[in-house]
A and B are shown apart, each in its own frame.
Chain A
Amino acid sequence: MQGLIIDSVTKQFNQQAILNGVFFNCKISEVVGLLGRNGSGKSTLLKIIFGTVNADFKHLKLDDKLISKGYLSRNISYLPQDNFIPINLSVLQAIEIFCNTHRNDLLNIQFVADNLQTKFKDFSGGERRLLEALIIIYSDAEYVLLDEPFSQLAPLLVDELKQHINKIKSFKGFIITDHYYQSILDTSDRIILLHNGCNYQIQNTDDLILHGYLPDFRE
């Protein structure tokens, strides 16, 4: 089966099971939204897929190939919660490192085109976040993991980022997690909720209330 398959992911912290047999998959041209309360293991799961955190047990397959660390496949890119591009690098240098296939799409974005020679240290926090998210979205990897891409961004920029994800998703598979659940619901084709270490398929906001992710105001 083609795509990214994540199966039987188990991870304990201080003898408490954060992830307990979590499984799901992501195909090209699909956006999978990952929701969950604080500490439910969303970021840990993305880091396990990417390979920077070791799981107690995991079964990870990329296009029918068993992989140990996502980043070693060079086909999975990851936007961490914190800034990751060195501040002395210019936008153009970062684009040249990460984006070859879809470089022109990225260079057509007005904000990017206007700031090609600007170094990352000269941007505001939100601008830097937007640029890093765009570089990862348009990177050469076919599977993109985005950890809280909408945080630090103004509503207009959130909308812009959502448009870019929609624009390029026919070439890529996305796994996105964020606390701005409405943005996740808008962008995603499928929603998975992490709760009590397990994953639940979510069809609508009622399911989110049922599993205790959203408060029930009807009571």
Chain B
Amino acid sequence: MIGLFFVIDGFEKPAPYVMAIFMKPIGWASSIVIEHFFLSKHRYFYNNMGLGFRKILLNIIYYDIAILIITIIICWLCRDLLLTVLPSNLINKQY
């Protein structure tokens, strides 16, 4: 969604970006908690592959960033289509 807003509106409407900056750390914090429970069960399986807690968490963040970049690229490529099919109030007035 943030990628979509960025392509449509650029930096003009900062609200969704502020929301993203607020939401992302919460998402990552939840990932840490989930990963902790998950790793406590399968710790040695991943450790034997050379993967530690930090490496897995960094991978989650890298994948997150990669997905964001891919979304922005796809939205940019399909910009005209999105501007046509999206409801006008989403684009012009309110989110």
Question: Does B22 lie at the interface of the complex (its beta carbon under 8 Å from any beta carbon of A)?
Answer: no
Q: Are A72 and B42 in contact (CB under 8 A)?
A: no
Q: Are B52 and A69 in contact (CB under 8 A)?
A: yes
Interface residues of A in 24-60 (CB under 8 A from B): 50-52
Interface residues of A in 74-102 (CB under 8 A from B): 74, 77-78, 80, 84-86, 97-98
Question: Does B24 lie at the interface of the complex (its beta carbon under 8 Å from any beta carbon of A)?
Answer: no
In the bound complex, what is the Cα–Cα distance between A99 and B52 (angstroms)?
19
- Residues of chain B lying within 8 A (CB to CB) of residue A69: 52
Q: In chain A, what residue has the closest Cβ to B54?
A: A72
In the bound complex, what is the Cα–Cα distance between A97 and B42 (angstroms)?
14
In the bound complex, what is the Cα–Cα distance between A86 and B43 (angstroms)?
10
Interface residues of B in 57-95 (CB under 8 A from A): none
Q: Are B44 and A52 in contact (CB under 8 A)?
A: yes
Q: Are A77 and B43 in contact (CB under 8 A)?
A: no
Since A51-B52, A52-B47, A98-B48 are in contact, a sample of 10 more A-B pairs with Cβ atoms closer than 8 Å, ordered by chain A residue number, is A50-B47, A52-B44, A71-B52, A72-B52, A78-B44, A78-B47, A80-B44, A84-B44, A86-B45, A136-B48
Q: What are 5 A-B interface contacts by the 8 Å CB criterion?
A: A52-B43, A72-B52, A84-B45, A85-B45, A136-B48
Which residues from chain A sit less than 8 Å from chain B, CB to CB? Answer: 50-52, 69, 71-74, 77-78, 80, 84-86, 97-98, 136, 139, 141
